[in-house]
Each structure stands twice: as structure tokens, then as C-alpha cells.
Amino acid sequence: MIDTQPATLNIAIVRFSALGDVLLMVPAVRSLRRSFPRATITWITSPLAYSLLQGLEGVNFEVYDKPRSLAAYRAFYRAFSKRNFDVVLAMQANLRINLLYPALHAPIKIGFDRTRAREGQWLFCNRSIPFADSHLVDSFLSFAAQLGASPCAAEWNLPIAEQELVRAKKQLQHLPRPLIAIHPLASKQERNWIFERYVEVIQTSISNWHAGIVLTGGNSAIERDFCARLASIAPDHTLNLCGQTTPKQLAAVLAQADVLLAPDTGPVHMARAMNTPVVGLYAVASPKLSGPYGAQQYVVNRYPEAVRKFLGKDPERVPWNTRVHHPDAMALIQTEDVMQQLTRLFDTPRFLETISHA
């Protein structure tokens, strides 16, 4: 906890990164806003993150591309040369971002602990959060706790306009229920599941529950092709929205779905934020670190098996951030694993009654 009175602090938060990482930070920002309603909170982030976060109550945004040139660093330093903060929360640790911290003038700069302060972040901060082998959401909440924020349950309440929710409902209204959203690909190839097993899940879900399928993804050629091939399996049951949604529109679509099926990728956290159940596919990283926060009852977790098989180590003894960088790790996840979780979700009287009244 800091020494000064936190109620009216001028706080700068730094986090660019991918949408998933940004979403994991929102509960910490909500915690600060709730604990210190008179504080000024400035979040320095990227255009893509801002496109989702715009409208977050009580937060000012400064939007910059992640610097890639000396000129970009100079522009950033000039922009903040005459601004002062009481505290900087250095919530991202890599060299390109670490080099921005000297531009932000504040007597207190809080970064990660030595274990997680990558690429020399500790050189640019004078305080740190304590280490814990915990979920990323909890690590970000530790920053709020360092300012004396009151402990609270994680809250997202993303600023998604009612018109976006109505639009998504209209897009999806012709699909049968239950509605399964599938975001099949992650940004890293090693996290991706097998095409043929997605096909088996789609075919079995339609056979078992007459399910509808909505496919989501980015605008890359690989993602578009992957989703197009999946959409051709059962076109009457499928809507392919791959490459066709903004971040806010994707959040609205996931809010209308009955479940999301996805590997370790940002939409997992977006679905969690919208209170949609997630069947997450984990073998490369532990869901304890990056799974749907506080809602992992439907996760398929083959990470321990992957650690034993491909690393030859005890999964209970590996460092907190161990990844299984092996091309066959995700192949440990079987179609039956996914169907078992979908069955647990769908074949319950309460859920079937909800679907019948949808």
C-alpha cells in the first residue's frame, strides 16, 4: 500500500497488448474506480484495445500504437513531457513498453515482482506487487491492492451499447438453439486445435441437440479459410462471422451465444466478461494462469498431461509460466473431451428449459 492518500490520486495505467490481456485488466480498473471514485484514472493503450474499452466509465484514455521506431518514442515522450501523475501502474512488462515508463513522471511507479518483471522492468519502477502463482486477473488486481483498493469480486460490465446487442440478436435469430459460438484459431499456431475434430464436434452437436453454430475470428486469410471450411459442414445451421466483427460486435455476439468453444485466445475472456460459458481448450498453457477467470467448470485441461509427455516434468513442480511448445500438445485434446463438457452444459433440465423459452 502506498503512503499517500489514495482518494484523489492521479493514476496512469499502461497496458497495450492483445485484447485478451486488456480484458483481463478490466476488473482491476473497475476495482480502482469503485474504491477511489474521486481519483483520476488515465489508461494508456492501443487503438484496438480502445475500440473495445471506449465508454468505460470513469476512465480517460490515451491512445497510441505500440512504438516501433525512435520517432514514435520521441512523440510519446513529448506528449507526456509536461504531465505529472501521482502513481504509474506499469501493468505490462516487455522492453518496448518498459522504455515508455521514464516518459511518465510520477514519484511512485509500481511494476511486477522480479519473477514476472520481464526484460528489466524493475529498472524503471520503484515498487512492485508481490509474486503469486495465480491467474492473470489476480495479478492485475494486485496492482489495485497496492493502492489500498478494497478486495472485491472481479467485475467486467463492458461498455457494449444496447444497439450492438440488438444487432447481434437479429444476426443470430435464424439459427437453432442451443447456439454454439466457435472461435477456432488463436494468434499462436501451437495453441490451435485440429480442424477434423472441430468438424466432429459440429456434426455431433447438430445430431444431438439440433444446435446452431456461429463462427468468429479475425480477418487473416488463414482464419477466413478455416472458418469457411467449417461453415460448409452444415450451412443451414451455421453463420460465419469470421473477419466481420469489431471487438464490441464480437462481445455482443458472444453475449447471445449459449457457449463459446475456443483455444487459449482473447475471446475466451470476452465470453467470460459477457457471462457466457466457455469450453476452453488448454494444453500449451495452464488454465490456472489464463483460463476463463472463476468459470473453469467446462474447460478441457490437458496441460498436465502435456507437461508430463513432452517436457518430462511433474506439472505440480514446473514454474508458474511454463508453456508446452510442442506441435502435438493440442492433439492431446480429443473430440470426446469437448463433447463431454458440452453434454454437461446442455443436458440439464434447467438449461433445456432456458433454450425452449429463448
Q: Is there a single domain that holds both residue 142 and residue 197?
A: no
> Residue 356 has what pLDDT?
59
Q: Is there a single domain that holds both residue 331 and residue 198?
A: yes
Q: Is there a single domain that holds both residue 220 and residue 351?
A: yes
> Residue 8 has what pLDDT?
83
As for how many domains the chain has, the answer is 2
Q: Is there a single domain that holds both residue 83 and residue 176?
A: no
> Residue 241 has what pLDDT?
98
Domain-located, residue 168: yes
Domain-located, residue 152: no
> Residue 267 has what pLDDT?
97
| Domain CATH code at residue 71 | 3.40.50.2000
Q: Is there a single domain that holds both residue 195 and residue 296?
A: yes
Locate 241 and state its grid cell.
462471422
Domain-located, residue 309: yes
> Residue 80 has what pLDDT?
98
> Residue 176 has what pLDDT?
96
> Residue 69 has what pLDDT?
97
Domain-located, residue 153: no
Q: Is there a single domain that holds both residue 58 and residue 202?
A: no
Structural domain including 46 reads 10-146
> Residue 17 has what pLDDT?
80
Residue in the block written with cell 501451437: 190
Domain-located, residue 239: yes
Low-confidence ranges of the chain (pLDDT < 50): none
Q: Is there a single domain that holds both residue 203 and residue 284?
A: yes
Which phi and psi (to 5°) does residue 145 adopt? -65, -30
Q: Is there a single domain that holds both residue 174 and residue 125?
A: no
End-to-end CA distance of the chain: give it in Å, rounded.
Answer: 48
Q: Is there a single domain that holds both residue 56 and residue 205?
A: no
> Residue 23 has what pLDDT?
95
Contact 330, 319 (CB under 8 A): no
Contact 263, 312 (CB under 8 A): no
> Residue 351 has what pLDDT?
72
Domain-located, residue 258: yes
Q: Cα torsion at 74, 41, 266, 261 (round to 10°)?
A: -170
Please state the pTM of the whole predicted model. Answer: 0.93
> Residue 7 has what pLDDT?
66
Domain-located, residue 310: yes
User: DSSP characters for 147-179?
Assistant: TTPPP----------HHHHHHHHHHHTTS-SSE
Q: Is there a single domain that holds both residue 109 and residue 235?
A: no
Q: Name the domain boundary from 146, 174, 197.
A: 146
Domain-located, residue 345: yes
> Residue 320 has what pLDDT?
87
Q: Is there a single domain that holds both residue 74 and residue 180?
A: no
> Residue 152 has what pLDDT?
80
> Residue 5 has what pLDDT?
58
> Residue 287 has what pLDDT?
97
Q: Name the domain boundary from 114, 146, 178.
A: 146
Q: Please compute, for residue 290, the number of CA atoms within 13 A of its CA located in the half-sphere on the CB side.
A: 22
Q: Name the domain boundary from 146, 181, 214.
A: 146
User: DSSP characters for 45-102?
Assistant: E-HHHHHHHTT-TT-EEEE-PPP-SHHHHHHHHHHTTT-B-SEEEE---SHHHHTTGG
Q: Is there a single domain that holds both residue 121 and residue 171?
A: no
